[in-house]
Amino acid sequence: DAMVIQNPRYQVTQFGKPVTLSCSQTLNHNVMYWYQQKSSQAPKLLFHYYDKDFNNEADTPDNFQSRRPNTSFCFLDIRSPGLGDAAMYLCATSTVGQLQPQHFGDGTRLSIL
């Protein structure tokens, strides 16, 4: 089945220690998104790629970076995680167009010690 796969499902890191989350997709979608979701809150868009074109949200902290080496893979790098970065990180994909839904992976739950 075509899908969006996030690894790992759970990640524990230390305060200030860089961490990388990964997302892969077999849907061959042009657009890939990274969201941060905290408890009882809406998913918050961090950035998205249209093919290799990177689009950063204005309020995404510089601490968050991303890479998309090819169509299938996308990475979220948190350079110096703080306690406030503990959250669920969601990867989603879609095809181009305003009518297209986004399809989410299972998410990575990040904890900061």
The residue ranges that bind another protein (CB under 8 A) are: 31, 40-43, 45, 48, 50, 88, 90, 94, 96-107, 109
User: DSSP letter string over 32-62?
Assistant: EEEEEE-TTS--EEEEEEETTEEEE-TTS-T
Q: How far is the CB of 10 from another protein (least distance, A)?
A: 10
Q: How far is the CB of 16 from another protein (least distance, A)?
A: 26
Return the number of the residue (36 or 65) whose C-beta is nearest another protein. 36
Return the number of the residue (46 or 78) whose C-beta is nearest another protein. 46
Neighbours of 36 (CB within 10 A): 20
Neighbours of 48 (CB within 10 A): 22
Return the number of the residue (49 or 85) whose C-beta is nearest another protein. 49
Q: How far is the CB of 85 from another protein (least distance, A)?
A: 18
